[in-house]
Amino acid sequence: MIKENKKSEIAFKIIKYVVMIALFIIVLFPLLWLLINSFKTEKEIIGFPPTIIGTKYTLKSFVRIFSNIPFAAYIKNTVIFAGGTTVIAVIFDSMAGYAFARLKFKGKNALFMFVLLTMMVPFQVMMIPLFLESNYLGLLNTYPGLILPKATTAFGIFMMRSYFSALPKDLEEAARVDGLNEMGIFWKIMFPLVKPGVMTLAIFHLMTNWNDLLYPLMMTSSTRMRTLAAGLALFVGEHATTYYGPQLAGALISVTPLLVLYIFFQKYFIASVATSGIKD
């Protein structure tokens, strides 16, 4: 009985490694292919039969993407939009999450329901009025116009609320006895204690906004205000540019910053996804 189990376990192990290595190839190959083809000449990219490793490498695709579209501006915009949104949203979400988790006040349940309600409504449903509203407020094609509507998320509030709830009780009572004011308690005592939560949430906001397509696509009509994802999507599409090289070079540049961050902050990247499934 036990021996049979051992045997089947070895069989499982073999199957597991074979399948996993096949999956490695399926997942990694397109990404490596992107890296290689960004440096290939146009002729080799579209040449038949297709080759995996080319013979000639060039930076022409990169030069082209910067000259064909205002790609430098896209990079700048994405950094400002995703970075700005992340900083502001983390602060706003933490403050609201803290209030819901640790403070007693009138109307708490009603306000919490209000936040819950906004979580239920998908962005697509309100995108047209949002566009009109931003236009009316003169926020279209401005950084505040891109950042403000994303400056808080119901999800972030929930997440920070659960992080603050998990802190030991009576922390703030002790601080109050020490004479610290309410703002001070939040900034000096509570906020530093949820640093893992803050990091996780920051990565979450950074990743979502960096990669977001529909939102910046809609909220920017001026080409100079576009983000990387929106700019690239408009650069390709079905009725596309003839050259493939610049599309690939652009794609490579657009994914690199997050991949580099991933190397250093892998834990938080995975947590930003995983916590969403656990904490509820």
Partner 1 sequence: MKRKIIAGLLSAVCIVSLIGCGNTSSPMGTEENADNSTSEDTATDETTATESAEVSDGGTTIQFWNSFTGTDGDVLREIVDTYNKTNTKGNTIEMDIMPTDSLEEKLPAAIASKTAPALVIKGNFDTATYGENGIFQSIDDFFETTGTDKTDFSDASLEALQYEGKQLMIPMQVHSTFLFWNKDLFEAAGLDPETPPATWDEVVADAAKITDSSKKIYGVGFPVSGAPCYFDAMFKSNGGDVVTENGTASALDSEANLKTLQYIQELVSAGYAPKGATGADTDNLMLADQLGIYCSGPWLVNGLKENEINFGVAAMPAGTSEAAGVIEVQGFGVTSTCSDAEKAAAYDFIAYWNTTEVCKEWSLRNGFPPYLKSVAADTEVQADPIVSALSSISEFGFTFAPGVSAANQINADVLFPLIENISAGNDCQTELTKASESIDELLSK
Partner 2 sequence: MKKLESIKRYLNKPSRIAYVFLAPSLIVLLVFAIIPLIASLIISVMNMNIFFTDTSFAGISNFIQAFQDGRFWNALLNTVVFVVFEVPLQIVIGLLVANALTKTTVFNKVARSIFFLPVICSMAAIGIVWSILLDGNIGLVPYLLEKIGIPNATFFRDVKTAMPTVIAMTVWKNFGYTMSILVVGIQGISTSYYEAAQIDGANKIEQFFNITLPQLKDTLGFCLITNTIGSLQVFDQVYVTTQGGPQYKTETLVQYIYKTGFSQPYNLGYASALSVLLLVVILLISFSMYRNMFMKTD
Site for partner 2 in 51-80 (CB under 8 A): 52
User: Please, what is the minimum distance in Å from the beta carbon of residue 175 to partner 2?
Assistant: 12
- CB of 232 within 8 A of CB of 211? no
CB of 27 to partner 2, least distance (A): 6
**In this chain, which stretch among 19-27, 54-62, 66-74, 193-201 interacts with partner 2, using CB under 8 A?**
19-27
Give the range of 18-26, 53-61, 64-72, 194-202 binding partner 2 by CB under 8 A: 18-26
Cis bond before residue 168 (omega within 30° of 0): no
Query: Which is nearer to partner 2, 18 or 59 (by Cβ)?
Result: 18
For partner 2, give the closer residue by CB, 120 or 168.
120
Q: Is residue 109 within the footprint of partner 2 (CB under 8 A)? A: no
Question: C-alpha angle 107/108/114, rounded to 5°?
Answer: 90
Query: 164 near 190, Cβ under 8 Å?
Result: yes
Q: Which two tokens stand for residue 279?
A: 């904490």
Interaction partner, residue 68 (partner 1, partner 2, none; CB < 5-8 Å by kind)? partner 1
Structure token digits, residue 130 = 């949002």
Nearer to partner 1, 49 or 179 (CB): 49
User: For residues 254 and 179, what is the distance between their CA atoms, to the nearest angstrom?
Assistant: 49
Residue 74 binding result from partner 2, partner 1, none, given CB thresholds of 5 to 8 Å by partner type: none
Cα separation, 267 vs 255, in Å, equals 19
165 binds partner 2 (CB under 8 A): no
Helix (H, G, I), strand (E, B) or coil at 40: strand
Q: Which residues would be at the binding site for partner 1 (CB under 8 A)?
A: 42-43, 46-49, 67-70, 72-73, 76, 80, 106-107, 131, 135-144, 148, 221-225, 234-244
DSSP letters for 52-116: SS-S-B-SHHHHHHHHHS-HHHHHHHHHHHHHHHHHHHHHHHHHHHHHHHH---TTHHHHHHHHH
Q: Which one of residues 14, 22, 68, 108 is an interface residue with partner 2 (CB under 8 A)?
A: 108
Picking from 80, 197, 200, the residue whose alpha carbon sits closest to that of residue 150 is 80
Is there binding between residue 211 and partner 2 (CB under 8 A)? yes
Among 75, 79, 87, 151, binds partner 2 (CB under 8 A): 151
- Minimum Å gap between C-beta 109 and partner 1 is 14
